[in-house]
Amino acid sequence: MKKNKIFVMGSYVTDLTARASHLPKPGETVFGQSFRTGAGGKGSNQAVAAARLGAEVTLVTKLGDDAFGKLALEHFTKEQIDTSQIAIDKEMPTGSALIAVDDQSENMIVVTAGACGKIKREEIEQAEEKLADVAIALTQLETNLDAVERTLELAEKHHIPVILNPAPYQAIPNEWLKKAAYITPNETEAAQLTGIRLETEEDARLAAEKLYQMGVANVVITLGKKGCFLYNEEYKGKVFPGLIMDAVDTTGAGDAFNGGLAYALANEVELIEALQFANIVGALAVTKEGTAQAMPTLAEVETCLKHSLLEVKS
């Protein structure tokens, strides 16, 4: 395994974002205040988050042979992400995400996976040499699930720890959970995985304990601006408070957290400090508009770390 090297298998979609005073109700048309396009998708966003912090990132995804796909490759090159394992689909279009953001920075998202929903197992296998040479792997559930399964299998084969971000939620076999060293659901995803509705800290503890008993070594439930909750063999439930920031756009906060966690763990940072680091990466991301373009640099995170007074709650 190589320090500072990360393997990301996941989605790329082009974000099509409109801002409006409020989010539309079913059947309602809302006048927007602004519109923009940008790079998105959980796999892409998390890869960018880690790369901006300074990690050497290899991304496995699939793009359409279209204008959005060409823009994606330009984007990854600019962010210094290894694109050698990105496949091009001659038939399917590049994925897209329709995003609405209101004046309170809340959002609604509709994702059409497109090409990245058709990643073949053999395309993961072609990247096996890259996967075998990293410190940590990171994947999500925004692609077709057989691609996630093959990533988990190959990571296990080469003893590479995996962060599984189970987002957006899809039902997955419990055996997959046992192959992940870390799982990072948000409150909604934790509830969907466990059947336990999360309304209190005790609910988070019960859900995290259930995931731990299902075979995940380290359960990290992200709690938005409240921070994150850890449950593992050593810590039977510990809250890491978030950093309260003036939010402009919360869309990419979870992806920033996961990219930040992967970066810290790939650089041999202890889990306790890695979670505090990831909380700050996520908090800084909400202070700017957009997803990938909002990901902070290492210098920004280090400045924030020096001035933060975050404490661990037992």
Rounded to 5 degrees, what are φ and ψ at 137? Answer: -115, 155
Q: Which of 82, 89, 203, 255 is catalytic?
A: 255
Structure tokens that stand for 54 in this block: 């300074």
Helices and strands of the chain, counted as H and E runs: 11, 14
Q: Is 45 annotated as a binding residue?
A: yes
Sign of CA dihedral 141, 142, 146, 150: negative
Q: Is 174 annotated as a binding residue?
A: no
Chain position carrying tokens 């599984």? 164
- 304 Cβ contact partners less than 8 Å away, ≥ 6 residues apart: 243, 280, 283, 284
Chain position carrying tokens 């920033």? 256
Structure tokens that stand for 206 in this block: 């019960």
Q: Is 285 annotated as a binding residue?
A: yes
Q: Is 225 annotated as a binding residue?
A: yes
Q: Is 186 annotated as a binding residue?
A: yes
Kindly report the CA angle at 299 between 296 and 301, in degrees rounded to 5?
55
Distance CA 278, CA 287 (A): 15
Q: Is 42 annotated as a binding residue?
A: yes
Nearest to 190 by CA among 216, 160, 155: 216
Q: Is 130 annotated as a binding residue?
A: no
Structure tokens that stand for 284 in this block: 């800084």
Q: Is 157 annotated as a binding residue?
A: no
Q: Is 146 annotated as a binding residue?
A: no
CB atoms within 10 A of CB 178: 13
Residue 255 annotated among the catalytic residues of the structure: yes
Q: Is 44 annotated as a binding residue?
A: yes
Q: Is 10 annotated as a binding residue?
A: no
Q: Is 38 annotated as a binding residue?
A: no
Q: Is 188 annotated as a binding residue?
A: no
What secondary structure letter does DSSP report for 114?
G
Binding residues: 13-15, 41-45, 142, 186, 222-227, 249, 251, 254-255, 279, 285, 288, 290
Binding residues for substrate: 13-15, 41-45, 142, 255
Binding residues for ATP: 186, 222-227, 254-255, 279
Binding residues for K(+): 249, 251, 285, 288, 290
Active site residues: 255
